[in-house]
Amino acid sequence: MAEFDPEKFEDKYANYFTELQRAYKQAFETMNDRYDSELIHAIDQQILSESEPFYEGDGEFRIELPDDPTERLSGVLAADDEKVETILDRYVDEIESEIRSVFGLTG
């Protein structure tokens, strides 16, 4: 586990790329086990690949999504906007939780 430094997180890809990659991968694996794998793969590749994690302070992170995330999704059958939004919200929560865990910021 890397020692977390909020100032270093401003240049997160230079300082914490491996940790962020691990958090996103662990979140993907969790979500893929619980939900439709086709939808999880599509969300991962078409929406989350362009997301940006930010440190909010007090051990909390925020994932910023690209504009109009549900409109980016294509090629997924049986996935209405409401379902996608629900699962995407859950996925983002999982990523934020995994980032906290990777940095040892869980209570």
Average the pLDDT over 1-16 and give the result. Answer: 88
Q: What is the pLDDT of residue 71?
A: 85
pLDDT confidence of residue 80: 81
Q: Please write down the long-range contacts of 17-22, taking CB distance under 8 Å and 24 or more positions apart.
A: 19/99, 19/102, 19/103, 20/53, 20/99, 20/102, 22/98, 22/102
Q: What is the pLDDT at residue 81?
A: 81
Any idea of the CA torsion for 81, 91, 12, 47, to the nearest 10 degrees? -30
Q: 95: burial class by Cβ within 10 Å (0-12, 13-18, 19+)?
A: buried
Q: Measured between alpha carbons, how far is 18 from 83 in angstroms, rounded to an integer?
A: 31
For 23-57, what is each residue's pLDDT tens digit?
999 999 999 999 989 999 999 999 999 999 999 99
DSSP label at 65?
A: P
Write out pLDDT tens, residues 45-102.
999 999 999 999 999 999 999 999 988 887 766 678 888 899 999 999 999 999 999 9
